Amino acid sequence: MSTGGDSMQKRPVVFSTCMEHELHFGAPSHPEKPERLLNILKHLKQQGLLSDDLILPHHIATDDDLLLAHTKEHVKKVQDYALQHVSNGIQNKRELREWKRRMSSEAKVKIDGKEVGLVKSMGDLFTTVATPEVAMAAVGASVKVVEEVAKSMEGDRKEAKAGFAIVRPPGHHAGKDTAMGFCFFNNATIAALHAVERLKVPRVCVFDWDVHHGNGSQDILYEDGRVLFASVHRYGKGFYPGTGKVEEVGSGGGKGRIVNLPVEGRGMGDEYYMKAMDELFLPVFAEYEPNLVIVSAGFDAAEGDPLGGMKVTPVGFAKMLHSIQATLPDAGIVLILEGGYNVNILSECSEACVRILAGETVAEVERRFGVGGEEEGLCSDMGAMMVMENPAKAAKEKQAAHASLLAARRVQAEHWREVQTPDEE
């Protein structure tokens, strides 16, 4: 199904990002930090892949945008986070910016003799007075890049653009009425529903390759049916968020529109991910024939990520993206940043994908990065240090991961003719 070495037509890439995202920050040690975006933008400019004229104008989402995917109660709750900080004495972004410049490493300051935290932590979330606006800007940037790509697809498909929304906070854990996992509003799903409902794009797919399951995206789309949601993610042994089983295929009008590959094995790399593309996801995409593919592009399955425990290389992500392009040559493709917490590797993976979006071949990307897809082993979850454990344990993890793929194929074969069960091979 995949055609890794084929030459793709050169095409323009548009970008969007969210201004003042630096004012949404947590403790200095928190992995979801402003440096993630700053480093990507700097790196892409250094590589000659990004210039200011390619970045769409700043846009903040409206409440109507947010209500495409979220309840009124959830929107108000997130917007009210700012008021909690105002009551502590941080009145606005200008004051926050000044205090941040002078703050201690503990992110606390004294206002009128009272020690005040610039950041509030709530489980796996953190907020500042600017968080609601930054989260709405991330949605706005995602919506605008989808609009630009959809507009460019009208008429002559040969001029279709690709796009990359380089945004934070991420969004795929945010459900209809839930903020969690560093996420407040669901950037990718709002953009997808905007495309279907307002731009009248006939068929839209959200493909989530973040190492964590996009439970929020699934929650929003589970009974909807207007958008196909597909996800490859690590699963089991307490791995966050613990959702995305193969049996979760949607219900009601959305039955058969959820495709999950929960990988019950650590240390999987390029070879495994491309096998999953060839045997599961590309057949589904070919049958569904989406006009627009939105990739929830988390890069925490990359080798060296402190949270993911997988071994995908920048070339591996490039190969996955190229395989989608080759399977769906007329579709618009938009990447929306999700996770990825090693800032250097995050930038390299982003670069590899932008090069594919712009029309470079996999062979060209391989020459820049070195060929990926080394023999899969087992990596430790401890930080960026990837260590090989004993061969027997590595083999067991690999066997579990391949069993996950077989199980997903069996389930999805009931909904998609192009997916073969193991017995049909």
Active site residues: 173
109 closest CA partner among 95, 130, 92: 95
CA gap 171, 157 in Å, rounded: 29
- In this structure, how many other beta carbons lie within 10 angstroms of the beta carbon of residue 63? 12
CA gap 85, 80 in Å, rounded: 9
CA gap 306, 300 in Å, rounded: 8
Cis peptide, bond prior to residue 241, ω within 30 of zero:
yes
Cis peptide, bond prior to residue 169, ω within 30 of zero:
yes
For residues 130 and 93, the answer to whether their CB atoms sit within 8 Å is: yes
Cα Dmax for the chain: 73
DSSP 135-186: HHHHHHHHHHHHHHHHHHTSS-GGG--EEEEE-SS--TT-BTTB-BTTBSS-
For residues 372 and 269, the answer to whether their CB atoms sit within 8 Å is: yes
**Scanning the structure block, which residue is given the tokens 């440096």?**
35
The residue type found at 363 is A
Which helix (H) or strand (E) segment holds residue 295: the answer is strand 292-297
| Direct distance between the N- and C-terminal alpha carbons of the chain, in angstroms, rounded to an integer | 14
- DSSP secondary structure code for residue 234 in this structure: E
**Scanning the structure block, which residue is given the tokens 């060296």?**
304
Q: Is 57 exposed, middle or buried (0-12, 13-18, 19+ CB in 10 A)?
A: exposed
